[in-house]
Structure 1
Amino acid sequence: MAENSTHGIRADEPADIGRRVLRLRTEKGLTQRQLAEPAYTAAYVSTLEAGRVRPSENALRHLAERLGTTVEELATGRPPHLATGLRMRLTDARRTLATGAAQDAAEQFRALHDEAAGLALGTERSAALRGLGDCALETGDLVEARDHFAAAEQLLADEPLPRRVPALRGRATAHLLAGELRYACYLLETAVDELNASGMHDPDALLLLYTASIAPYMDMGAHARAAHAAELALALAPKVDDPALVAGMHRGVARTLIAEGRIAEADASLAKAQELYLQLHIRTELAHCHWMRGYVRAQDGDLKGAESELRTARDMLASKRAALFTVQVEVELADVLRRRGKTGEAERLLRPLLSPSALGAERGAVHAGGAHRLLGLIAEERGETETAEEHYCSALSLLERTGAAGDLADLCRLLGDLLRRTGRTEAALDAYRTGLGHRAAPGTTTLGPAPTEPPFRGGAL
């Protein structure tokens, strides 16, 4: 099947279109001359009906108007209401994902994907695959999520890059959650470079990419790049009409503000995101705002407020059966509980999280490392140095695969202090040196040159 370059319609072969024109013309009682004039000749219509020529976009538009149909129906044989109805049901599935359980939404997206495939509707099929990818992210099926997003991208391989960016962003997020921070950065930065180098300065696509890059930058310790991405995202926000994109941007920017100690501004940014998500009834993203606000409260020393926000986030995510995000919040909640002196509750929360079905090397590696770190601290506080060392080493093994520089440096310090206190000075020095290596130049040992910037700075694109 050939691609119609004007409308992105997957047009049938010339013989199929010709038969369709002949049938509709006969039903209308038109001669070839009546159908052709004034723009074309009867001979052209005859040649077209015989399947010997592919009609141009202008010819299809002329013929469709004279035959009382649409360009899409003439080119594909599909009544236009089929695609419209499918798109409406895709919106309904998105609403289910936003307000209900991911498994329920996945059933809807799966049925819609099969229907779109049967109708050869590539764009709608890609949208259904992206929905399945988002559902898999919520349930923590990261390999499945990645595969769905990759398939969605492939279906749009002939489309301009901005059309492919949502699926690409989803694939990068799946790699990020699996602990593959460098590859997530590579995917996002490559797309930014391609957009800017080709002159496709699409505000929605760029905002999505810059916002998505903040989390892996922060986890890798590349704080300057994260702050710069946040700055560019803020400059793009006034040019974007989608409130969900703007809300996601505010949530991402808050992370850079926290790192810079600008707690009040971070909280204000999260409040803006929260307000937008409330208006949109997007429950998972709203839970992420509570999660981030809990982190802000903890950074500001308000541990009681942090505990309240994190419990709210955990309950919201658990009600949506968003398995991976739920256990990640529980790691951060356990940290706050330990700092509040509720060590027993923190330990009871952490231990089940280290089963392969909860967290591990291929599933939330950064938070799995965080859980081992916390259990190591709890063991140290009890004087159980061997257990603490085991947990620190397990955390180190997990985090070294991710490139999470800040977490690695902190962990090496904890391990070094423990080794020094137990008289193993040389081993302690090795741990400290390893930590300094991760701290020396955050991000520069794992990331290439920064992506090119779009040709704007708060001005028009």
Structure 2
Amino acid sequence: MTHDSTPEAGGPGPVPDGESGLAPDTEPSAPTEPADEPIGRRVLRLRTDRGLTQRQVAEPAYTPAYISTLEAGRVRPSEAALRHVAERLGVTYEELTTGQPAHLATRLRLRLTEAQRGLTTGAAEEAAVLYEELRAEAERHGLAAEQAAAELGLGECALETGELPDAHRHFEAAEALLVAAGAPLPQRAPVVRARAVAHYLSGELRYACYLLESALDELNTSGLHDPDALLLLYTATIAPYMDMGAHARAAQAAELALSLAPQAGDPVLVAKMHRSVARTLLAEGRAAEADASLSKAAELYQRLQIRTELAHCHWMRGYVHAQNGRLADAERELRTARDMLSAKRAVLYTTQVEVELADVLRRRGSSDEAAVLLRALLGDLNPERGAVHAAGAHRLLGIIAEESGAAGAPEGSGPVTAAAEAAEEHYVTALSLLERAGAAGDLADLCRLLGDLYRRTGRIDAALDTYRTGLGHRAAPGTTTLGPAPAEPPV
């Protein structure tokens, strides 16, 4: 059969090099198939979905027999042939050759932004449903970056609802996807920070610091000076440093974060920085500056309508007021934070705020209300899920038990045995939780409380041992298990 240069109605048209308009059993050709779906099968699927015949797809340039050959995977189509088939099927050339709908990655990123907005404005469960849909779609089309972003979002949703094992799983999956795709560290920084936060909330303070310090070292020594990534990581180090008693290192991280803030392009990061820096300012006795920093963060979050972070600002402001002796203001701020987080069903964060609130209630003379609150929330905390705050709850219950025993004892009668035993039980439980988490600063304070209890009940040797343990935790301020602080960014 010869082919004319001008196609005739119902007949064959010009055939580009390497192709044939013959029937499938006349001129076979080895196909080139993408890994996910053979291109011929994709043509068959799209044609069938649209209710088109092989003739309708073929004309006017090719024969129905050629389309049959292509669908059977027995011909290697040229770019010109695929562009013709794509036009007849009503899809783009890229969609036909890759199997990915046109502008899929862009649409996925827009929907990821929508899910992130839902998460930050308080709809964690709804955001999780959308993230799961996006994760499955990105996986189906082989879009690693978008799949990693969806995994990160699912992990953040799990953090909001207190499901730490799920958060760990999603964050690790996100990092594995980015590493396999060869993403540089600045792009992986949000996942590193998220993994560290999950470990911190699980009570693994030292490992959280290890993740953050290792990433900071790599960024600062390899010339990957990305202000957003550095600000994200330095800000994340402040909370575990503070809980470990490494106040000098926390202050250094806060100073570096402040210096990076003008270079950062993300206002959310700047707001987070102000919230975290307030802790170090407070530790240095600069309560007014801490409150001012939190006010700046609150203004940014209010403008961005990010309720979770706004709740955290109320939380930190309550903490600042409590440390500064303004207990009525502290109670108001903490109740606001608790109500906002509870409305979002952010279980773990809510229980952490309630520990702070219980301390304020006790100091305001409402010990019974504080004790009821603490006992109720302990069911949501355990060594793997909020260890530091579970220890804080037991510490407060121990103090309340001691105070109630002292109040019920006649003048000069000595300690009340039942109250002392209850207090000791809570202190020892808290000590075990803090030792596991490595919260050195809190450990030293708890050892003082337990040592005082032993001394008042006549157990001098046990008191001395406990005091020595507390001094050991105070012996090396400003350090972690990692030795030297991470390298500073280049000036």
Using structure 1 for the length normalisation, give the TM-score: 0.84
Which residue pairs with 2:458 in the alignment?
423
Q: CA deviation at 1:80?
A: 3.8
1:429-440 matched pairs, under 5 angstroms: 429-440=464-475
Which residue pairs with 1:184 in the alignment?
208
Bigger mean CA offset, 169-178 vs 189-198 = 189-198
Residues 1:120 and 1:311: Cα distance change in structure 2 (over 3 Å): same
Residues 1:223 and 1:74: Cα distance change in structure 2 (over 3 Å): farther
Which residue pairs with 1:266 in the alignment?
290
Q: Distance in 1 between matches of 2:248 and 2:77?
A: 60
Residue in structure 1 matching 2:105, options 80, 83, 86:
83
Q: Distance in 2 between matches of 1:160 and 1:228?
A: 26
Q: Distance in 2 between matches of 1:163 and 1:72?
A: 27
| 8 Å contact from structure 1 (residues 19, 50) kept in 2 | no
Q: Distance in 1 between matches of 2:463 and 2:77?
A: 80
Q: Distance in 2 between matches of 1:325 and 1:74?
A: 47
User: Which letter maps to 1:120?
Assistant: G
Q: CA deviation at 1:12?
A: 5.9
Structure 1, residues 298-346: CA drift from partner, whole Å, max 9, x if none?
1111000000000000000000000000000000000000000011110
| 8 Å contact from structure 1 (residues 307, 333) kept in 2 | yes
Which residue pairs with 1:99 in the alignment?
121
Residue in structure 2 matching 1:323, options 342, 347, 357:
347
Which residue pairs with 1:414 in the alignment?
449
Which residue pairs with 1:399 in the alignment?
434
Which residue pairs with 1:371 in the alignment?
393
Which residue pairs with 2:133 in the alignment?
111
Q: Distance in 2 between matches of 1:381 and 1:72?
A: 73
Mapped pair 1:257 → 2:281: yes
Q: CA deviation at 1:19?
A: 13
User: Which letter maps to 1:218?
Assistant: M
Mapped pair 1:136 → 2:158: yes
Residues 1:160 and 1:424: Cα distance change in structure 2 (over 3 Å): same
Which residue pairs with 1:169 in the alignment?
193
Q: CA deviation at 1:197?
A: 1.8
Q: Distance in 2 between matches of 1:50 and 1:367?
A: 64
Which residue pairs with 1:362 in the alignment?
384
Residue in structure 2 matching 1:444, options 479, 485, 489:
479
| 8 Å contact from structure 1 (residues 207, 245) kept in 2 | yes
Structure 1, residues 54-91: CA drift from partner, whole Å, max 9, x if none?
xxxxxxxxxxxxxxx99966873534422221111111
Q: Distance in 1 between matches of 2:323 and 2:309?
A: 21
Q: CA deviation at 1:295?
A: 0.3
| 8 Å contact from structure 2 (residues 454, 463) kept in 1 | yes
Structure 1, residues 405-433: CA drift from partner, whole Å, max 9, x if none?
11100000000001000000000000100
Q: CA deviation at 1:129?
A: 0.5
Which residue pairs with 1:3 in the alignment?
none
Q: CA deviation at 1:51?
A: 9.5
Q: CA deviation at 1:262?
A: 0.4
| 8 Å contact from structure 2 (residues 271, 297) kept in 1 | yes
Mapped pair 1:207 → 2:267: no
Q: Distance in 2 between matches of 1:367 and 1:410?
A: 14
CA RMSD of aligned residues (A): 2.8
1:290-309 matched pairs, under 5 angstroms: 290-309=314-333
Q: Distance in 2 between matches of 1:27 and 1:293?
A: 70
Q: Distance in 2 between matches of 1:71 and 1:293?
A: 56
Bigger mean CA offset, 84-93 vs 74-83 = 74-83
Structure 1, residues 174-199: CA drift from partner, whole Å, max 9, x if none?
00000000000000000011112221
Which residue pairs with 1:147 in the alignment?
169
User: Which letter maps to 1:226?
Assistant: A
Structure 1, residues 374-431: CA drift from partner, whole Å, max 9, x if none?
0000000111111000000000010001111111000000000010000000000001
Q: Distance in 2 between matches of 1:113 and 1:125?
A: 5
Residue in structure 2 matching 1:351, options 370, 375, 378:
375
User: Which letter maps to 1:156?
Assistant: L
User: Which letter maps to 1:104?
Assistant: E
User: Which letter maps to 1:315?
Assistant: D
Residues 1:28 and 1:299: Cα distance change in structure 2 (over 3 Å): farther
| 8 Å contact from structure 1 (residues 181, 402) kept in 2 | yes
How many residues align? The count is: 411
Residues 1:354 and 1:276: Cα distance change in structure 2 (over 3 Å): same
Residue in structure 1 matching 2:266, options 220, 232, 242:
242
| 8 Å contact from structure 2 (residues 248, 478) kept in 1 | no
| 8 Å contact from structure 1 (residues 18, 50) kept in 2 | no
SS at match of 2:315: helix
| 8 Å contact from structure 1 (residues 416, 428) kept in 2 | yes
Using structure 2 for the length normalisation, give the TM-score: 0.79
| 8 Å contact from structure 1 (residues 403, 446) kept in 2 | no
Residues 1:195 and 1:74: Cα distance change in structure 2 (over 3 Å): farther
Which residue pairs with 1:388 in the alignment?
423
Q: Distance in 2 between matches of 1:165 and 1:335?
A: 35
Q: Distance in 2 between matches of 1:325 and 1:145?
A: 14
Gaps of 5+ in 2: 1-32, 43-56, 62-74, 79-90, 406-418
Residues 1:445 and 1:216: Cα distance change in structure 2 (over 3 Å): closer
User: Which letter maps to 1:128?
Assistant: A
User: Which letter maps to 1:295?
Assistant: Y
Q: Percent identity?
A: 71
Bigger mean CA offset, 172-181 vs 72-81 = 72-81
Q: Distance in 2 between matches of 1:315 and 1:200?
A: 41
SS at match of 2:437: coil
SS at match of 1:156: helix
